[in-house]
Amino acid sequence: MGASKAFVERVWQSFLKNAGHDANSFGHLKVTQVPKPGVVEAEMVVKQHQINRVGSLHGGLTSSLVDSMGSLALSSRGLWMTGVSTDINVTFVRAAPLGETVRLQAQVIGQGKTLAYTRVEMFSTKTGKLLAYGSHTKYIALALKSEQNVKFSEDGETQVE
């Protein structure tokens, strides 16, 4: 496991340790890979407590996944604290029914001194079809100052600071 993926795993565990929304809503989400800093992939099975009244993944939960996955994409660049959301936009393409395994891919599209921009896509692992996608903007000026931040090699395999 590369240094960037190990760091993302630690950040995700800190989200879950809080025992708040992430832990209660999708604590079973598993980070599957961090191909490089700025990109995170994860999988999750749609469970009973996550569905709406028509039996598919609730739209609000999909929005929360865009939020959390965007944050994990930022953490893969070495940010321990990942900032606060300023904007989230989600487009729902297809339903994810109960029992479906979904694959999420989050990518940092841009990062400056105050704002970061991410894009998250959700796919069916069964069909490969796009289920939803979203964008997530975060205010990161204070997060960039955290003493718990680290830096990685370009490929994310080693921690350099």
Q: How many CA atoms lie within 13 A of 101 on its CB side?
A: 8
Confidence of residue 18 (pLDDT cuts 50, 70, 90): confident
Structural domains of the chain ordered from first start: 3-145 (3.10.129.10)
| pTM (2 d.p.) | 0.95
| Residue whose token pair is 């994990």 | 72
**137-149 average pLDDT score:** 97
Distance CA 105, CA 133 (A): 9
Share of the chain above pLDDT 70, in %: 99
